[in-house]
Amino acid sequence: MGNRSDGLSDVLQDEDVMFDGPSGARDLWFNTTTPADLAATTDPTAGAKFVHEAPDGGAVFRIVSWAPGTHDDKTPEEMRAVHAQLGTAHIPSVEYLESAKHPSMHRTDTLNYIVVLSGKMWALTEGRDVLLRPGDVMVLQSCIHGWRIEGPEPCVMAATFIDGAWSSGPAPKEQ
């Protein structure tokens, strides 16, 4: 929803979120600056390449769906290639991933707001893990993390990734 060229509010876009299979991600909107341009009336995601991180100084809102077993059988080398293709800022070394809880472990330079819409997912850290269920909300601040599906159903999440920076204090060590 937004404002038409005549200044009246209206539904500017109305379509279903579709994936090619049980796993996938779809950016619904992104902005490349903050504050965001509130006069935008066209879909900024149309024709844009999908990347893991939010644009520098901006944010991205996306829907992500994971099928059971997603990334469970990937080697550290395969997961590093996946993250490199997605443009992930901090990809752990093969040595780190070989002893990590899950091959999906990584870190982004973003502040993420995540809401589980359906299914169950383990949010993995280097410390404690937490099982996320429908309706659960998580704030993720640029830490090493990974994901593992719980149960036979896909997990669908809505997430907002906001570009971030370390202004004070120690940044996490590189893995």
In the chain, where are the structural domains located? 24-163
pTM for the complete prediction? Answer: 0.88
pLDDT of residue 41: 76
CATH 2.60.120.10 for the 24-163 domain, yes or no: yes
* 155 backbone dihedrals φ, ψ, rounded to 5°: -110, 130
pLDDT of residue 29: 93
pLDDT of residue 42: 81
> How would you label 120-152 residue by residue, b for 16+ Cβ within 10 Å and e otherwise?
bbbbbeeeeeeebeeebebebebebbbbbbeee
Chunk the chain into consecutive blocks of 10 residues (it has 175) and report each block's average pLDDT, rounded to whole numbers: 88 82 87 88 85 92 92 89 88 90 90 98 96 98 91 96 85 71
